Structure 1
Amino acid sequence: MDIEAYRQYCLAKPGVTESFPFDEEVLVFKVMNKMFALTDVTLFTSINLKCDPEQAVELRERYPAVQPGYHMNKQHWNTVLMDGTIGDKLITEWIDHSYDLIVASLPKKLKEELATLS
Structure 2
Amino acid sequence: MNIESFQAYCLTKKGVTEELPFGPETIAYKVAGKVFALTTLDRTPFSINLKCDPEKATQLREEHDCVLPGYHMNKKHWNTVIIDGSVKDAVLREWIDHSYDLVVQSLPGKVREQLV
Q: Is TM (by shorter chain) over 0.5?
A: yes
> Which residue does the alignment assign to 2:9?
9
Cα deviation 1:15-61 (Å, max 9, x = unaligned): 00000000100000001111000001233621000000000000000
Structure 1: how far apart are the matches of 2:2 and 2:42? 12
* Alignment gaps of 5+ in structure 1: none
2:107 is matched with which residue? 106
CA distance in 1, matches of 2:114, 2:95: 24
Corresponding residue number in structure 2 for 1:81: 82
1:24 counterpart residue number: 24
Between 1:39-48 and 1:93-102, the stretch displaced more is 39-48
Which runs of structure 2 are paired with 1:26-41 in the superposition (5 Å)? 26-41=26-41
Query: What is the TM-score normalised by the length of structure 2?
Result: 0.95
- For residue 35 of structure 2, give the secondary structure of its aligned residue in structure 1: strand
Inter-partner Cα distance in structure 1 for 2:70 and 2:8: 22
1:84 deviates by 1.4
Deviation at 1:11, TM superposition (A): 0.1
Percentage identity across aligned positions? 57
Q: Please give the alpha-carbon distance, in whole angstroms, between the structure 1 residues aligned to 2:66 and 2:79.
A: 10
On the 8 A contact 1:32/1:114 being kept in 2, the answer is: no
The question of 1:91 aligning with 2:92 is answered yes
Q: Which one-letter code corresponds to 1:40 in the other structure?
A: T
User: Aligned residue pairs: how many?
Assistant: 115
Helix, strand or coil: the match of 2:114? helix
Partner Cα distance (1:5, 1:64) in 2: 22
Alpha-carbon distance, 1:112 to partner: 1.9
